């Protein structure tokens, strides 16, 4: 085979090989992490060791009260599938740094925006009814019962890419070009989210469980294999975990009201 023949043959092979229908890649990350967790946890802790650990923890907690020390120790906070970077280790590029592969355009903004988000919403795939969405995903879709006048979401999306993520969107009655609130349901083991340096990060609780409250603006990256969404968050976000699902509530309401909404979630009636 001369060089030209080989080149043509190689091209042909690549062209044919790309047609191979591989089985769906299983959730290897979850399986590996399940096997890793018991290994990273000590099985037996002696009383002496327990006391030593307690002392170390107290020292560590004290250090955490000093802002510079806290910044040095904690490089990122993890809650569910969300990691919040406090420093600037490797911030992902901002959406205007280049054409993102896709956009999730759901940002609750506290003021008027220069660009209406609704046209972008129109191009988002996976819109369906609430009932269809519930049939499509494996986790229960919950709706807030507070505030009582909130009503059902106007727009419902299921983003599917090796893991299904449900997104509920409430449109502002007074300003129909504006999104008043959005709620993401993200099952574990599929998507991952990175936030870089939110203006404010605050620990709180939803149903007595740890939750995180962040305030923008900050770049956010959702990714899953080769798929990546970039957004600039300019609103408030409450993140909490229940079972195998991470919840993100984007709203311009204050923390107390966001927690009230989060704690009022109920299955679809």
Partner 1 sequence: MNYNLSGEVRLEESTLIRHAANGDAAAWEPLILAHQEAVFRLAYLILGDPDDAADIAQEAFLRAWNHIKRFDPTRPLRPWLLSIVANLARNRHRSAGRYVATLTRAFRNEPAPANIEEKSAQHIQARELWKAVQSLSMPDQQIVYLRYFLDLSVMETSEILQVAEGTVKSRLSRALERLRGIIQQEFPVLAESREGHDA
Question: By CB under 8 A, is residue 256 in contact with partner 1?
Answer: no
Helix or strand (DSSP H, E) at 130:
helix 130-136
The token pair at 266 is: 């109920």
Would you say 176 or 225 has its CB closer to partner 1? 225
* Residues 70-89 within binding reach of partner 1 (CB under 8 A): 75-76, 78, 83, 89
Tell me whether strands 245-251 and 236-242 are parallel, antiparallel or unpaired. antiparallel
- From 127, 172, 197, 228, residue interacting with partner 1 (rule: CB under 8 A): 228
Q: Considering the rule CB under 8 A, would residue 60 count as an interface residue with partner 1?
A: no
Say whether 269 sits in a helix, a strand or coil: coil
The number of residues making up the chain comes to 269
36 is an interface residue for partner 1 by CB under 8 A: yes
Number of residues that bind partner 1 (CB under 8 A): 44
Is 53 among the residues that bind partner 1 (CB under 8 A)? no
- Tell the smallest beta-carbon distance from residue 29 to partner 1 (Å): 4
Q: Work out whether 55 is an interface residue with partner 1 (CB under 8 A).
A: no
Give a three-class secondary structure readout of 36-72.
HHHHHCCCCCCHHHHHHHHHHHHHHHHHHCCHHHHHH
Considering only residues 74, 92, 139, 264, which one is a binding residue for partner 1 as defined by CB under 8 A? 92
Q: Which of 210, 241, 228, 246 is nearest to 100 (CA)?
A: 228
54 HSE (CA, 13 A, CB side): 7
Binding residue (CB under 8 A) for partner 1 from 16, 46, 96, 123? 16
By CB under 8 A, residue 224 contacts partner 1: yes
Is the previous residue joined to 147 through a cis bond, with omega within 30 degrees of 0?
yes
Using left for φ > 0, alpha for ψ between -120 and 50, and beta otherwise, residue 208 falls in left
Residue 176 as a binder of partner 1 (CB under 8 A): the answer is no
Between 130 and 169, how does the x/- string for binding to partner 1 read (CB under 8 A)?
----------------------------------------
How many Å apart are CA 87 and CA 258, to the nearest integer? 26
Applying CB under 8 A, does 9 fall inside the site for partner 1?
Answer: yes
46 touches partner 1 (CB under 8 A) = no
Considering the complex, state which of residue 8 and residue 55 has its C-beta at the smaller distance from partner 1.
8
Residue 194 or 250 having the CB closest to partner 1: 194
Residue 199's contacts (CB-CB under 8 Å, 6 or more residues apart) are 214, 215, 216, 217, 218
CA 29 to CA 49: how far, in whole Å? 32
Task: Candidates 114, 226, 243, 267: give the one binding partner 1 (CB under 8 A).
Answer: 226
Binding site for partner 1 (CB under 8 A): 1, 5-6, 8-10, 12-14, 16-23, 25-26, 28-29, 31-33, 35-37, 40, 75-76, 78, 83, 89-90, 92-93, 101, 192, 194, 223-226, 228
């Amino acid at each position: 085979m001369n060089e030209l023949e080989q080149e043509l043959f190689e091209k042909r092979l690549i062209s044919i090989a790309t047609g191979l229908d591989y089985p769906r890649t299983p959730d290897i990350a979850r399986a590996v992490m399940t096997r890793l967790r018991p290994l990273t946890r000590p099985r037996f802790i002696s009383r002496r060791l327990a006391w030593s650990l307690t002392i170390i923890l107290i020292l560590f907690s004290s250090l955490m009260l000093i802002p510079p020390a806290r910044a040095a120790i904690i490089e990122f906070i993890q809650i569910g599938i969300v990691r919040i970077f406090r420093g600037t280790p490797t911030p992902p590029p901002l959406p205007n740094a280049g054409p993102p592969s896709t956009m999730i355009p759901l940002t609750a903004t506290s003021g008027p925006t220069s660009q209406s988000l609704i046209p972008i919403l129109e191009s988002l795939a996976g819109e369906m009814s609430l009932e269809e969405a519930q049939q499509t995903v494996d986790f229960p879709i919950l709706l807030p019962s507070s505030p009582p006048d909130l009503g059902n979401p106007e727009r419902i999306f299921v983003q599917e890419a090796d893991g299904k993520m449900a997104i509920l969107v409430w449109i502002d009655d007074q300003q129909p070009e504006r999104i008043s609130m959005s709620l993401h349901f993200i099952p574990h083991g599929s998507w991952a989210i990175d936030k870089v340096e939110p203006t404010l990060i605050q620990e709180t609780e939803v149903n007595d469980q740890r939750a995180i409250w962040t305030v923008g603006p900050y770049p956010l990256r959702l990714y899953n294999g080769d798929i990546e969404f970039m957004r600039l968050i300019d609103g408030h976000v409450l993140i909490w975990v229940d079972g195998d699902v991470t919840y993100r509530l984007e709203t311009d309401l204050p923390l107390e009201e966001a927690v009230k909404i989060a704690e009022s979630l109920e299955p679809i009636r």
